[in-house]
């Protein structure tokens, strides 16, 4: 199993550009989440999904969209990037009957 994979590892965007951060898992997990990590603020939940076709907002959803058309994939879209979205983004997944979340390696995004 590859676990949770994220692409790209690094990305630089200009203000106003759009992009999609990719996340995939091969463990057949129902739950998938996107977090952002900022210094001194821990991880904050952006969006999450409890299964294909079902998504919901987390703590900091503004400026981000998600969709879950398959169990394996959970892309995060930035519609119009802003410098405040400079952060490290982590995708995570877990099975329905499990307490353990598995994290991807992260995407470091810089918006200039």
Site for another protein, rule CB under 8 A: 4, 31, 33, 35, 40-45, 48, 50, 58-59, 90, 92, 99-101, 103-106
Instruction: Give all strands (DSSP E) within the chain, no chain letters.
Output: 4-7, 10-13, 19-25, 31-37, 43-51, 54-57, 64-66, 76-78, 87-94, 102-103, 107-111
Phi, psi dihedrals of residue 83, rounded to the nearest 5°: -55, -30
Bridge-based pairing state of the strands 87-94 and 102-103:
antiparallel
Give the nearest distance from C-beta 29 to another protein in angstroms. Answer: 12
Residue closer to another protein, measured from CB, 17 or 45: 45
Residue closer to another protein, measured from CB, 17 or 37: 37
Residue closer to another protein, measured from CB, 17 or 52: 52
Give the nearest distance from C-beta 81 to another protein in angstroms. Answer: 22
Contact 109, 36 (CB under 8 A): no
Two structure tokens written together for 14:
């200009």
Q: Which residues pair with 103 in a beta bridge?
A: 92
Give the nearest distance from C-beta 80 to another protein in angstroms. Answer: 26
Residue closer to another protein, measured from CB, 85 or 93: 93
Give the nearest distance from C-beta 44 to another protein in angstroms. Answer: 8
């Amino acid at each position: 199993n590859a676990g949770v994979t994220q692409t790209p590892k690094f990305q630089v965007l200009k203000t106003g550009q759009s992009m999609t951060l990719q996340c995939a898992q091969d463990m057949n997990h129902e739950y998938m989440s996107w977090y952002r990590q900022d210094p001194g603020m821990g991880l904050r939940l952006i969006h999450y999904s409890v299964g294909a076709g079902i998504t919901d907002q987390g703590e900091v959803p503004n400026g981000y969209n998600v969709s879950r058309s398959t169990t394996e994939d959970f892309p995060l879209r930035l519609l119009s990037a802003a410098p405040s979205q400079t952060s490290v983004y982590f995708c995570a997944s877990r099975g329905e009957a499990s307490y353990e979340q598995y994290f991807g390696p992260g995407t470091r995004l810089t918006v200039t």
